[in-house]
C-alpha cells in the first residue's frame, strides 16, 4: 500500500489501508483515514487531518504553509473530511494564527486541477471548484456551490449554498445562496438570477422555488432599498426556511452582496 520511495514522518498516523504513491511526502502530525489514497509526488504538509475515502492525486499539495507574510511557522491546521477528490496540482494551505488557525474542508467536494484554497478558508460539503479556480484567504464557501474555471474569489468573501459562479468571474462581494453570478467581458460581476436548474435537481419544492423568486424580485426588481426589501420579504413570506436563510445571509454579510 505504501511505495518504498515515499517519505513519511514518524509522527504521522495512517490507517492500515491507506495507499501512498511513489515519492509522496507526508509531514509531521498528519492523520489520514481509511480508504484514502495519496498519489505520486503529492505532498501532505504538517498538522493535517484527512478523513476517509479521499482521493488525492499526483503532484497535489495539501496542508502547506500559508502564503501570508505574517506566518512564522506556528501550529496551524488543515482539516479535511471524507469523500473528497483533490486533483493534480491542486493546492490547499493551512490556517494562520491571525485567522481561524485552520483551513476546514467538509465532505464530498471536488477540487479540479490547479484549484487553490488559501489559508483559513472554510468549505462545506458537495462543492465543486473547477480548474484554476482560486480562493484567497478567509473565504467561506457553503454547501453545494459550483465555482467555474478561472474564478478568483477575494479574501473574506462568502458564497452561499447552492450558488453557481460562472467561469472567469472575479468575486469581490458575497454571492447570495441559490443564485448564479457571472461577469462578462471584464465587466463587474452581477447576479443573473436564481440557480433554478440546480435547485430543481437538488429537490427543492416548487413552493420553495416560488418563494425564492418572490424574494429575489423584492430585492432586485422592485426599486426598494435593501432594508425595505428585507422588511417586505419578512412580512410577505413566512414559514419558508429557504427564504429565511437567504435573509439571514444578507443580514450577516460584512462585505456586502453582489447585486443584479
| Catalytic (active-site) positions | 119-120, 137
Q: CA-CA distances (angstroms) from residue 89 to 19, 20, 60?
A: 18, 16, 4
Q: CA-CA distances (angstroms) from residue 3 to 11, 40, 48, 205?
A: 18, 9, 20, 50
Instruction: Render the burial of 63-97: b for 16+ CB within 10 Å, e for the rest.
Output: bbbbebeebeeeebbbbbbbbbbbbbbbbbbbbbe
Smallest CA-to-CA distance from 177 within 112, 250, 260 is with: 250
Report the SS3 class of residue 186.
Answer: coil
What are the two backbone dihedrals, phi and then psi, of residue 131, each rounded to the nearest 5 degrees? Answer: -55, 130
Cα–Cα distance between 228 and 211 in angstroms, integer? 17
What radius of gyration, in Å, describes the C-alpha atoms of the chain? 20
Give, rounded to a whole angstrom, the gap between the first and last alpha carbons of the chain: 52
* Locus of grid cell 498528519: 30
Amino acid at each position: 500500500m505504501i511505495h518504498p520511495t515515499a517519505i513519511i514522518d514518524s509522527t504521522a498516523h495512517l490507517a492500515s489501508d491507506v495507499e501512498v504513491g511513489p515519492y509522496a511526502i507526508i509531514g509531521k502530525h498528519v492523520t489520514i483515514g481509511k480508504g484514502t489514497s495519496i498519489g505520486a509526488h503529492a505532498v501532505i504538509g504538517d498538522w493535517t487531518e484527512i478523513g476517509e475515502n479521499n482521493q488525492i492525486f499526483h503532484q497535489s499539495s495539501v496542508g502547506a504553509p500559508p502564503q501570508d507574510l505574517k506566518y512564522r511557522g506556528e501550529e496551524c491546521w488543515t482539516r479535511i473530511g471524507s469523500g473528497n477528490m483533490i486533483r493534480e496540482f491542486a493546492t490547499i494551505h493551512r490556517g494562520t494564527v491571525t485567522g481561524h488557525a485552520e483551513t476546514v474542508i467538509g465532505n464530498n467536494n471536488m477540487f479540479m486541477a490547479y484549484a487553490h484554497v488559501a489559508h483559513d478558508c472554510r468549505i462545506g460539503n458537495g462543492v465543486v471548484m473547477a480548474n484554476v479556480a482560486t480562493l484567497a484567504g478567509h473565504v467561506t464557501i457553503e454547501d453545494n456551490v459550483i465555482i467555474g474555471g478561472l474564478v478568483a474569489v477575494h479574501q473574506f468573501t462568502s458564497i452561499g449554498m447552492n450558488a453557481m459562479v460562472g467561469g472567469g468571474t472575479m468575486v469581490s462581494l458575497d454571492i447570495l445562496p441559490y443564485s448564479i453570478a457571472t461577469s462578462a467581458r471584464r465587466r463587474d460581476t452581477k447576479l443573473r438570477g436564481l440557480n433554478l436548474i440546480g435547485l430543481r435537481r437538488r429537490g427543492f419544492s416548487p413552493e420553495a422555488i416560488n418563494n425564492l423568486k418572490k424574494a429575489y424580485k423584492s430585492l432586485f426588481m422592485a426599486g426598494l432599498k435593501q432594508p425595505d426589501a428585507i422588511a417586505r420579504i419578512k412580512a410577505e413570506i413566512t414559514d419558508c426556511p429557504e427564504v429565511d436563510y437567504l435573509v439571514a445571509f444578507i443580514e450577516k454579510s460584512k462585505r456586502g452582496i453582489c447585486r443584479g
